Amino acid sequence: MHDILHSIRRIFVPIRKEGFPFIAIAFVLGVVLGFLWEPLFWFLMLITAWIVYFFRDPARTTPIREGLVVSPADGRISMITTVMPPPETGLGGAPLLRISVFMNVFDCHVNRAPVAGRITRIVYTPGLFLNAELDKASDDNERNALVIDTGRQTIGVVQIAGLIARRIVGWVQEGQAMATGERFGLIRFGSRVDVFLPLGTRVLVGVGQTAIAGETVLADLDPAGGEYTAYVTA
């Protein structure tokens, strides 16, 4: 039975409710404008299909072990560098390791917690909508910062709106406890997520690598490493 349910979930991927209005608008426009000119109908049906695909929310198998940092987003590792953390995070005045994951318009945009812990701070900062791949987007673009206390370390996660993105959606609150891989928000429609980690953290990915939210291990906070298990986030 478990195998059957897993197969069904792989075929019929759930769609986030935040996408329903956009799907409905594109579909209705396609039907209405299709009466005026048939090619518009097919063009808008393609747009509708893309919106459905964009708001997909598949289950993920999350590796579990204290110290593991998993990717908060689907996309490409665009930067691994040492920078000062955004001031709104309250992460201090010393440089931190930053791993950036860039999401294009075809990636799943549901964001997931990179570590387990309690959210101690959420700060939304209005800003510009520059290309999210640019380094200065970290300072100039609209963004939403979360600070997660694991009990041993404090981790920063920043959602950054991009050139096309116009809305950061969050589903969590300050004081809330989160499991690794748990969903905490999404960004519409193309953007970036930065993870800020202590210096000395062992990085396990490279620039240009494709990451999967809730599955790809970005880094290990535990210098000793070790084995880990995994669980499926439905």
Contacts of residue 66, Cβ cutoff 8 Å, sequence gap at least 6: 150, 152, 222
Evaluate whether 144 touches 170 at the Cβ level (below 8 Å): yes
The active-site residue, picked from 71, 78, 138, 191, is 191
**Does the annotation count 138 as an active-site position?**
no
Distance from C-alpha of 89 to C-alpha of 146, rounded to nearest angstrom: 7
Residues with catalytic annotation?
191
